[in-house]
Amino acid sequence: MRLSPVVIGSTEQALREVLRFVGPADVTLSRFFRENPKLGSRERGAIAEAVYALLRHRLVLMNFSDSGSGPQMRRVALLALSETAGMDALAGLEEHERTWLTHVMAIDRTTLSPSLRCNFPEWIRDRLIEQYGEDESEHLMDALNRPAPLDLRVNTIQSSVEPVLEALTAAAIPFERTTYAPLGIRLRTKPALQNLLVFKQGAIEVQDEGSQLLAHLLGARRGEMVVDFCAGAGGKTLAIGATMRNTGRLYAFDISDKRLVKLKPRLARSGLSNVHPVLIAHENDAKVKRLAGKIDRVLVDAPCSGFGTLRRNPDIKWRQQPKDLAELCARQFSILSSAARLVKPGGRLVYATCSLLAEENQAIITQFLSQHPQYKLVPAREVLAEQKIDLDTGDTLQLLPHRHATDGFFAAVLERVT
């Protein structure tokens, strides 16, 4: 696709908006496209890819942009578009721009300093090195700077794996089965899923393989009372509802009405009737307290830094600040402690984040167990082995993109013993 000067100019405008970091990049881009309706779908796709490439490789590309001449934001846009579409796709370049791009895009990035090459803020890089070591953290950051694949979960309420595989084959969509999640399918391309009959019929849902495993750790059964404490737009809620075979009662709690609204069309497609979305004001809402000691299983997918999802949301690493982390950890512990009151003796509580940092993960569990002697840790490997999932990352689940080809996830399984 040849990228016109209009696309280059629009990319420059979009980057100027996104790099203000006043909100999530996907929200900012969506607003930008609504305000520029003359851009076609292919043009929007090219602009979005360039924006996300810049967010992934910001330190290197901004460093390159310091050379050359002309307005810097134009140089940044040209670099981002060259990163994704290639320099030859750019129309209307000045000769000096073409010469400059040819030079900087030929630079061997392995010769750059590690602090520049990693494309991470220094404070996050330092934390990852401290936790994972220099070599592994380099592999981890490299994996986080690559786009994520598109994973699907088969909804067993509406279909089974084989018919979905047949439908994807018939649509000439290349795929492979996921390594760990038994109902997962990984696509090798990113087709327009909304046009597929299996999507319209609710037979598939978009869900990262790592996220799918949380429903297996929770292990909800037919007829139980279950709570998804931070349901969001409901991807995990729908997976849990399917494992319950559409029986029992599944509460989807969230403090955001907008997120729960997004759940409604997905819920309608899913065929589930056991899900009950509930808007709560906070973790100590009266709607929560009235269920104390009555729930068989509770999933707490806590608000977190989101560093495990950087393959999808690369802007997070630039928007988060060290002070945000301390506030998040305090909130995570408060939410987990409140959710723990719901669980009946013998019930299960799963704490999860899409973070890679120990202070949001293991440290929260250590603190929780020290203050809640009625709970014990159940080794995650044993829970997964019961479901014939061969995955052992220790007593807790810690998924890493460079090792497991999933988003970064942490989960701990807790059982209330008294």
User: What amino acid is encoded at 145 in this protein?
Assistant: N
Instruction: Report the alpha-carbon distance of residue 265 to residue 171 in Å, rounded.
Output: 24
Residue 350 reports pLDDT greater than 90: yes
Q: Give yes or no: 118 in active site.
A: no
- Residue-wise pLDDT for 230-264, tens only, equals 999 899 999 999 999 999 999 999 999 999 999 99
Domains within the chain, CATH numbers bracketed: 5-117 (1.10.940), 150-206 (3.30.70.1170), 209-416 (3.40.50.150)
CA distances from 301 to 27, 227, 310, 346, 373 (A): 22, 11, 17, 21, 22
Exposed, middle or buried: residue 297 (CB in 10 Å: 0-12, 13-18, 19+)? buried
Residue 96 reports pLDDT greater than 90: yes
Quote the pLDDT of residue 36.
Answer: 97
Mean pLDDT, residues 313-319 = 97
CA distances from 382 to 117, 385, 417 (A): 39, 5, 17
Quote the pLDDT of residue 68.
Answer: 85
The vertex-412 CA angle with 407 and 413, nearest 5°, equals 130
Which of 118, 230, 329, 354 does the annotation list as catalytic?
Answer: 354
Instruction: Report the alpha-carbon distance of residue 35 to residue 12 in Å, rounded.
Output: 15
* Cβ pair 157, 266 in contact under 8 A: no
Q: Report the percent of the chain where pLDDT is more than 70.
A: 100
Q: What average pLDDT does the structure give for the chain?
A: 97
* Four-residue CA torsion sign, 360, 365, 371, 375: positive
Residue 4: band (very low, low, confident or very high) from pLDDT cuts 50, 70, 90 = very high
Nearest one of 252, 235, 227 to 347, comparing CA atoms: 227
- Residue-wise pLDDT for 150-184, tens only, equals 999 999 999 999 999 999 999 999 999 999 999 99
Residue 141 reports pLDDT greater than 90: yes
- Residue-wise pLDDT for 355-364, tens only, equals 999 999 999 9
Instruction: Report the alpha-carbon distance of residue 98 to residue 100 in Å, rounded.
Output: 5
User: What amino acid is encoded at 200 in this protein?
Assistant: K
CB count within 10 Å of CB 298 equals 28
Mean pLDDT, residues 294-304 = 98
* Cβ pair 225, 296 in contact under 8 A: yes
User: What amino acid is encoded at 108 in this protein?
Assistant: D
- pTM for this entry: 0.96
Instruction: Report the alpha-carbon distance of residue 392 to residue 105 in Å, rounded.
Output: 41
CA distances from 388 to 190, 211, 240, 400 (A): 30, 17, 18, 21
Mean pLDDT, residues 104-124 = 96
Residue 293: band (very low, low, confident or very high) from pLDDT cuts 50, 70, 90 = very high
Quote the pLDDT of residue 1.
Answer: 80
Residue 324 reports pLDDT greater than 90: yes
Could you tell me the two tokens for 146? 């690559």
Could you tell me the two tokens for 136? 């592994």
* Cβ pair 108, 22 in contact under 8 A: no
Mean pLDDT, residues 190-219 = 96
